[in-house]
Amino acid sequence: MKLVTFVSDYKINVDTLDRLKPEKLGIVLVENGVYHATTKENGNPSSLLNHSADYYVLLNDLETRGLTADDVIDSKVKVIGFGDIVDLIFNDYDKTAWL
């Protein structure tokens, strides 16, 4: 299964992600979830970014919070737009989930 998961909260329990075992995992950071891509925890990137996954962050939600693509602290997180999300859902992943 190829699963794309939308993460909309900054204070998320990553245990849920640990239990998922898709063959391909994509994580799209939206709403307050964008802080996982821009904020360090005790000097380290968010523990959410430790999973074996393709990471994306929605540019519109970054900008809504006064951030830019330059504020993304980890190079493995790709900044995308709404059209890119549609492409991911229809072309790259079989299932979607929202956490």
The domain of 61 spans: 2-98
> pTM of the entire structure?
0.93
Report residue 20 as tokens: 């998922």
- CATH number of the domain that residue 24 is part of: 3.40.1260.10
Number of domains in the chain: 1
Q: For 26-46, b where at least 16 C-beta lie within 10 A, e where not — what string?
A: bbbbbeebbbbbbeeeeeebb
13-33 pLDDT, tens digit per residue, is: 667 777 888 899 999 999 999
**What's the pLDDT at 74?**
92
Res. 12: pLDDT tops 80:
no
